[in-house]
Amino acid sequence: MEFCDECGSMMQGRDGTWVCTNEDCGFEKPKGDTAEFVSAGKQEDSGVIDVSDAEDQGMPKTTVKCPECGNMEAYYYMQQIRSADESETRFFICTECEHKWREDDH
């Protein structure tokens, strides 16, 4: 599917040309000038995140019980680690013992 560079309306293919379906616009361009779609395929984990300086990075804090030491405060951040139609995963870092854990929505 192609969209008009001028007005954002849907384009229609005619004889090797994309033609804007908005009659007031009239924008046209050759079909060869389209952006290439690249599939991301299987998403991979983005790797290790250094959280040792969480406080220096201004990470927000929340009230949650650390499963390691029982402290009731932790830094948190959210990251998309599954497919786009799944909710983000919340990661916590204890402000006391720096234990790291995650919480998924189920």
Q: Given strand 61-62, what is the order of strands in its sheet?
A: 61-62, 74-79, 89-94, 100-103
End-to-end CA distance of the chain: 35
Would you say 20 is a known binding-site residue?
no
Would you say 4 is a known binding-site residue?
yes
Would you say 7 is a known binding-site residue?
yes
* 74, 92 contact by CB (below 8 A): yes
Q: Which residues are annotated as a binding site for Zn(2+)?
A: 4, 7, 25, 66, 69, 94, 97
Residue list for the binding site = 4, 7, 25, 66, 69, 94, 97
